[in-house]
Structure 1
């Protein structure tokens, strides 16, 4: 795992159906993210926030809300993440709503093609985010980034990374899913997306789920985690705009993060959809920072650390 972290704030709720995720980056900073990572022996540089167009809060146009503004934010994020990867750093994107996964992951995919590395994306979320304009009346683009990354949608968005599709469904593992529209479900099955939903986690346990999701990850794999805070049960994390009951518990989420850390392959990270306007005394940001700390190697278990793998 790269020990040089670059924090990139993206303060926008441009793709969301509720205002407030634009304040997410600052809430994570207030919760002590940089200090927590530095305490793990990591080098952390906060690059501040990207700039982009304001949220015009308009209704959908041709099935999409704010397509030009979403494109602008994601182009900026794509360039910022790709620059940090090329410089040998680990970009940690502080969202912002999950439409930003488009810019972040398209940059990671570009980097993997340049370096001839395999890509594995772990999408931790209550939602599959595999909608299209034909499937959702809201037009909110934070429900569409996985579909867009897989080439489904308008060229202004699918082509942000210059390669369509940016990723293949086979490169993605979705974990914690529990809210999928009927049409979206059909589309997920048609494209062969591998989904470990909450029923699977209930039946098989988080340990087996993560073993399956991480199967095949090796020294030649770039592991990207896109962590939507609504992945967590709202009892644990109330500060999100799209709460769905029945998500992973705090301990299940900790195990998930610890097993990702154990691979030693985490190379880029998104933290999305934190909405301080809906939070309780910044509790959700503090939980998110706690889990990020585990992603970077903090273990709650009294056991010997596995030997460090070569980068």
Structure 2
């Protein structure tokens, strides 16, 4: 795992249903993400915030809301993530809504192709995010990044990484899923996405789930974690715009992060959908920072 990390703020809710995710990067900074990682011995560089178009809050057109603005933000993020990877630094994307994963993961996939690495994407989320313009009930692109990365979507998004699809569906392991739109269910099955939903976690536990999700990860694997904060149960993480009851508990979430850290293969990270407008005294941001510490190897004992 790289010991040099770069924070990239992306303050936009351009793809979301609610205002507020644009404040997520600052909430994570207030929760001292940079200082906490530095105390773990990491070389931390905060690159500040990217800039992009304002959110016009317009209705969808042809099944997409704010498509041109979403494309602009994702192109900027793609270039920023590529630049950090080229310097052998681990990019941490501070979102922002989950549509940003199109730009970040497209850049990671491009880097992996250039260096002969195999990509594994751990998608920690309450939602499958595999909608298309024909299945979406809202037109919000934060419900579409998985579909776009797998090659289904508008050219301006699916082609950002220089190859279509940017990522093979087989690279994804979706964990914590408990909300899938009716039209989306068929798309998920047709794409062959591997999903460990909350029923699976309830039945076999988080340890077994993570063993299955991480099976096959080796020294040639680049592990990308796309951490949507609504992955967590809203009882412990209220600061999200699309909360869904019945998510992982605090200890289940910690175990998930600790087992990822145990692989030593973490290469890039998104932290998205943190919405301080719905939070209580920044508790969700503080919890997210606690979990990121575990993701980078903090543990109760020396292991």
> Deviation per CA, 1:127-185, whole angstroms, max 9, x where unpaired?
00000110113100000000000001111111111110000110000000000012111
> How do 1:191-210 and structure 2 match up within 5 A?
191-210=191-210
Map of 2:176 onto structure 1:
176
Map of 1:270 onto structure 2:
270
Map of 2:234 onto structure 1:
234
**Counterparts of 1:90 and 1:74, CA distance in 2:** 18
Map of 1:247 onto structure 2:
247
CA displacement at 1:194 relative to structure 2: 0.1
Map of 1:309 onto structure 2:
none
> How do 1:1-20 and structure 2 match up within 5 A?
1-20=1-20
**Counterparts of 1:137 and 1:234, CA distance in 2:** 23
**Counterparts of 1:259 and 1:136, CA distance in 2:** 34
* Residue 133 of structure 1 pairs with residue 127 of structure 2: no
Map of 2:104 onto structure 1:
104
> Deviation per CA, 1:37-77, whole angstroms, max 9, x where unpaired?
01111010000000000000000011100000000000000
Map of 1:153 onto structure 2:
153
CA displacement at 1:83 relative to structure 2: 0.7
**Counterparts of 2:141 and 2:183, CA distance in 1:** 16
> Deviation per CA, 1:3-33, whole angstroms, max 9, x where unpaired?
0000000000000000000000000000010
**Counterparts of 2:129 and 2:18, CA distance in 1:** 16
Q: Secondary structure at the match of 1:6?
A: strand
Map of 1:286 onto structure 2:
286
**Counterparts of 2:217 and 2:185, CA distance in 1:** 26
Q: Secondary structure at the match of 2:17?
A: coil
**What is the TM-score normalised by the length of structure 1?**
0.97
> How do 1:86-97 and structure 2 match up within 5 A?
86-97=86-97
* Structure 1 consecutive aligned stretches of length 4 or more whose deviation exceeds 3 Å: none
**Counterparts of 2:107 and 2:157, CA distance in 1:** 13
**Counterparts of 2:171 and 2:12, CA distance in 1:** 27
Map of 1:114 onto structure 2:
114
Map of 2:123 onto structure 1:
123
Name the count of aligned residue pairs: 303
**Counterparts of 1:213 and 1:136, CA distance in 2:** 27
**Counterparts of 1:60 and 1:234, CA distance in 2:** 28
CA displacement at 1:84 relative to structure 2: 0.4
Map of 2:49 onto structure 1:
49
Map of 2:258 onto structure 1:
258
**Counterparts of 1:146 and 1:73, CA distance in 2:** 17
Question: In angstroms, what is the RMSD of aligned CA positions?
Answer: 0.6
**Counterparts of 1:58 and 1:159, CA distance in 2:** 24
**Counterparts of 2:91 and 2:11, CA distance in 1:** 16
Q: Secondary structure at the match of 2:6?
A: strand
Structure 2, gaps ≥5 residues long:
none
**Counterparts of 2:36 and 2:155, CA distance in 1:** 40
Map of 2:34 onto structure 1:
34
